[in-house]
Chains A and B, each alone.
Chain A
């Protein structure tokens, strides 16, 4: 799993995904250019190109931000999530081209350093003046750091929580861009249609995130149970556990994977931390494949009794003690250190 990095771990699916993506981007730029020139044959080609790149980038950003909640609401969207980082890098590249054209076109001809000029223009006293380009530039810096750290190398070296907080900055960038685009559109357009589309995008994204958040909270709350005298907590009834498929329970601040599996003809029960060491993926929604609980996101594998990946891999997650009485499964909420073997419960 973490053995050797590659630039991109290509699969036929990723190739098709990327070809489709490039096709959509090229088509988007062509359609915007065509329509603009049809409506206004005297439009400045540089400005049209700049606007086209900015528009395709912001549309792509909406798609990127919608995929996360969509995948949480409905698992059929998951394949889109796996390859989301290509979307992100592509979006950064488009936004960068837009910003670069704008910087050269509007700022490189004066005496002021063009980068300073991006931040200092539009502060003027004339009505409607607003430093919207500074908002775009700060957003672009955030997107740059995200694109620069999109490879798994950074995930391992910055650790998943730091990496995740860094990539949550996309919401800051998005807020800055709503302001930038809102005022940017006004530079060239008087029609309210553009602003209407932008507002619709903001409303849809907010709605999707609220809905996904509620689905998630409901799933986490459904497993709160009283603590037994020996400290164990009831997490499920044995009859509800599917064979070879983990069930998620929330214990000690995070999810636990409870797995009923068949090994060498014997049915067993184990519990391990439900958070994958790779990218904090939902291991507790994984399946038991070839002797290991397999993360649905990128297929990292963990032996159910030890929480360790099979050699030569070195990933490990914490394990949990468990027992069965009267057809109910009880798990002790205190985790054992990552990789500690816990004797599985044998079922007949």
Chain B
């Protein structure tokens, strides 16, 4: 038990540690490149993105490197949409 818990907590700590190192440059520089409305947002807004960026850093890093905007989600209607037939 002890070893499992020690290893699991170690992995979580390492993951979040890298995340925190990523989050600081991301919220002040990177976020503006992947999310247009965030570019003009204020300091406090950027600050509250730090915890979430620490958790979701692999996803955000990938978007930052590729310059990808936020995706449009899939709903049942979006997925099944078809251009209407031309009468």
**Does B81 reach chain A (CB closer than 8 Å)?**
yes
**Does A321 reach chain B (CB closer than 8 Å)?**
yes
**Does B1 reach chain A (CB closer than 8 Å)?**
yes
Q: Are A161 and B48 in contact (CB under 8 A)?
A: no
Residues of B contacting A321 in the complex (Cβ-Cβ under 8 angstroms): 84
Q: Are A160 and B38 in contact (CB under 8 A)?
A: no
Q: Which of B38, B55, B63, B72 contacts A153 (CB 8 A)?
A: B38
Residues of A contacting B76 in the complex (Cβ-Cβ under 8 angstroms): 252-254
**Chain A 141-178, CB within 8 Å of chain B: the 1/0 string?**
00011011101011011111110000000000000000
Q: Are A340 and B83 in contact (CB under 8 A)?
A: yes
Q: Are B1 and A123 in contact (CB under 8 A)?
A: yes
CB distance from A6 to the nearest CB of B (A): 6
Of chain A, the residue at the smallest CB distance from B74 is A161
Chain B interface category by residue count:
35 or more
Contact stretch, chosen from A210-218, A237-245, A330-338: A330-338
Residues of A contacting B73 in the complex (Cβ-Cβ under 8 angstroms): 159-162, 277
Q: Which of B6, B44, B54, B84 contacts A336 (CB 8 A)?
A: B84
- A5-B52 in contact given A159-B71, A342-B84 (Cβ < 8 Å): no
**Chain A 311-348, CB within 8 Å of chain B: the 1/0 string?**
00000011001000000000000111110101000000
Q: Are A335 and B77 in contact (CB under 8 A)?
A: yes
Q: Are B74 and A119 in contact (CB under 8 A)?
A: no
- A7-B52 in contact given A157-B70, A161-B73 (Cβ < 8 Å): no
**Does A194 reach chain B (CB closer than 8 Å)?**
no
Q: Are A7 and B48 in contact (CB under 8 A)?
A: yes
Residues of B contacting A318 in the complex (Cβ-Cβ under 8 angstroms): 77-78, 81
**Chain A 113-129, CB within 8 Å of chain B: the 1/0 string?**
00110011001000000
Name the residue among B59, B70, B75 with the largest chain A CB count within 10 angstroms: B75
Q: Are B37 and A115 in contact (CB under 8 A)?
A: no
**Does A225 reach chain B (CB closer than 8 Å)?**
no
**Does B5 reach chain A (CB closer than 8 Å)?**
yes
- What total of chain A residues lie within 8 Å of the partner, measured CB to CB? 44
Residues of B contacting A6 in the complex (Cβ-Cβ under 8 angstroms): 41-42, 45
**Does B56 reach chain A (CB closer than 8 Å)?**
yes
What's the Cα separation between A335 and B83 when bound, in Å? 8
Residues of A contacting B1 in the complex (Cβ-Cβ under 8 angstroms): 120, 123
Q: Are B35 and A338 in contact (CB under 8 A)?
A: no
Residues of B contacting A253 in the complex (Cβ-Cβ under 8 angstroms): 76-77, 80
Of chain B, the residue at the smallest CB distance from A131 is B1
Q: Are B38 and A334 in contact (CB under 8 A)?
A: no
Q: Are B6 and A116 in contact (CB under 8 A)?
A: yes
Of chain B, the residue at the smallest CB distance from A252 is B80
Q: Which of A5, A338, A342 contacts B45 (CB 8 A)?
A: A5
CB distance from A286 to the nearest CB of B (A): 16
Residues of B contacting A5 in the complex (Cβ-Cβ under 8 angstroms): 37-38, 41, 45
Q: Are B81 and A338 in contact (CB under 8 A)?
A: yes
Q: Which of B5, B35, B72, B77 contacts A252 (CB 8 A)?
A: B77
Which residues of A are in contact with B by a Cβ distance under 8 Å? 2-7, 115-116, 119-120, 123, 144-145, 147-149, 151, 153-154, 156-162, 252-254, 256, 273, 275, 277, 280, 317-318, 321, 334-338, 340, 342
7 A-B residue contacts at CB 8 Å?
A6-B42, A116-B6, A159-B72, A252-B80, A280-B75, A335-B77, A340-B81
A-B interface, 10 closest residue pairs, ranked by CB to CB distance from nearest: A253-B76, A148-B51, A159-B73, A148-B52, A254-B76, A335-B77, A273-B77, A318-B77, A5-B41, A337-B81
Which residues of B are in contact with A by a Cβ distance under 8 Å? 1-2, 5-6, 9, 34-35, 37-38, 40-42, 44-45, 48-49, 51-52, 54-56, 59-60, 63, 70-78, 80-84
| New contact pairs (10) apart from A4-B40, A154-B52, A337-B81, CB-CB < 8 Å | A148-B52, A151-B45, A157-B34, A157-B60, A157-B63, A159-B70, A253-B77, A273-B75, A318-B81, A340-B83
